[in-house]
Structure 1
């Protein structure tokens, strides 16, 4: 008999109490028929702070749970530890502060089967608390969706993704340790997968939910994140351009930033439109920074906790 295909759901964690909710949501969801499902938890803390919690939950959950301790405060090391610990046909990534919806994994798998894509992304729906500003809730600034460029998805993220591990564009590939504290390691990873011929598809119904804590419900947090996203994009562009090509990208990013800030001025009395334009302008400033080779902001491994991409 043919061995049943397998999926490992990978969760990288660093001192997050929400990890329990994440694991319980995985055990409660509907599972795709005909697949063996397991969970890999990679703990990125210097001490195995999540070990006891994972051990207790492993006895309660219906899925096999494996714990890996990878102490370095480097998110790429944790992601790579998940890949190294897995021998499954597919690997799914979800963040340790997210909850899977009931049909999450089934919808990812259905799209992978229907399209044959090497990567399938799903959306991340932000859940705001009552203290979040009204403009932020109306504009939904924290939810995550893939970016389409002329009908294609050219990069991705690990907060909701399914990877076909044996595909030539993915097999043996690992996340950059150099980006393990700045962030953007997943953007680079999927950019390389796409560049190697990997197809990235989108499962619009494969939702996960992410609560937005008070520490992130601010314009300052959003500007920092958008700037770093721009830096990563700028560095990736710069690596593919030289001379006149790079100068052209600098001119384009400058023009886009100027346009966005001008649009913000024209919509100054409309908070959602104004702030959306401002944040896009900040992102393009980040692109300029990345193209110029400036050091990327450090978002991981900070004292007191690790921010998640």
Structure 2
């Protein structure tokens, strides 16, 4: 089974991270059949990557600027039976691809995601609650002992069957991250769209498929925390307009009614019984994060519904993969 891995990059500020990400793919116990690096509208970075990664496919994003367009550009040229995605600021454990591939052999599985472990480049703030690790792109839920069914995997640590993209289209533009704008949710919308098309099939979370995600100091600040929460609320509202509230908010209901209250109680308990004053701060951060995310959702819900990015030939509302090939280097 052929596995293509797509890495998207947009800034030279993360050059060393990109080099480390590609190096981690070359150390895999199951080597990818091809590594595709998509540069998002940055000519200088494209030229540098083309010179550095001679054994990879380097292509410029010819779709709309942003993570969704860059991933779709990579999908246009990927030839694998499985398409994996790795963030440009993350390193994959040596058995990452092998574990994802093993779970993908089941015909009922559409895709598999793994665990994203934070690698703080500075000190982790005492106020930062683990329940909000998604703010920095890391796994926030309880880590199980074996693979479990999930609504959607994390986009920068996942492997999806090529059949999914060929049938329902690629990532919807206008939802995901664009440069440093902290939006998200493009993988959520795609996963929901896939399971709506194949209600008998699932996505899995394989907890032993690990990547290590670098968290720079600026993402460990209060301002980034709140801005990311607000943007997430807007993203969820946008996704709801495309796939409906029932599916788009299914995981969030359990998260807000079960996980977050437990987190608040734990923070208060840490402060009162374990003499950890920062427990109050973590409890407060959970409440502030929830309020801010909800505000973003309300704001996004009031916005006019965005026009879908659809293939002219499609009979259903699916994003097109009809982008140009771009400048490719091997």
Shorter-chain TM-score above 0.5: yes
* Whole-Å separation in 2 of the counterparts to 1:75 and 1:285: 24
Aligned Cα root-mean-square deviation (Å)? 3.3
1:43 matches 2:53? no
Structure 1 residue 236, shift from structure 2 partner:
2.6
TM superposition score normalised by structure 2: 0.70
Structure 1 residue 196, shift from structure 2 partner:
1.5
1:145 match: 139
2:300 match: 290
* Whole-Å separation in 1 of the counterparts to 2:304 and 2:288: 21
* Whole-Å separation in 1 of the counterparts to 2:60 and 2:80: 19
Alignment counterpart, residue 55 of structure 1, candidates 51, 55, 72: 51
Structure 1 residue 40, shift from structure 2 partner:
0.4
* Residues 23-60 of structure 1, C-alpha deviations (whole Å, 9 max, x = no match): 0111112116xxx62100001123141333343333xx
Kindly indicate whether structure 1 or structure 2 has the higher relative contact order, using CA contacts under 8 Å at least 6 residues apart: 2
TM superposition score normalised by structure 1: 0.74
1:173 match: 169
* Whole-Å separation in 2 of the counterparts to 1:56 and 1:229: 35
* Whole-Å separation in 2 of the counterparts to 1:224 and 1:90: 34
- Judging changes above 3 Å, is the alpha-carbon distance between structure 1 residues 112 and 189 closer, same or farther for their aligned structure 2 residues? same
1:61 match: none
2:328 match: none
2:23 match: 24
- Judging changes above 3 Å, is the alpha-carbon distance between structure 1 residues 227 and 294 closer, same or farther for their aligned structure 2 residues? farther
Secondary structure, aligned partner of 2:282: helix
Structure 1 residue 131, shift from structure 2 partner:
3.7
- Judging changes above 3 Å, is the alpha-carbon distance between structure 1 residues 22 and 223 closer, same or farther for their aligned structure 2 residues? same
Asked whether the 8 Å contact 1:29–1:103 carries over to 2, the reply is yes
- Judging changes above 3 Å, is the alpha-carbon distance between structure 1 residues 295 and 195 closer, same or farther for their aligned structure 2 residues? closer
Further displaced range: 79-88 or 126-135: 126-135
Unaligned runs of 5+ in 2: 143-147, 272-276, 307-330
Asked whether the 8 Å contact 1:146–1:202 carries over to 2, the reply is no
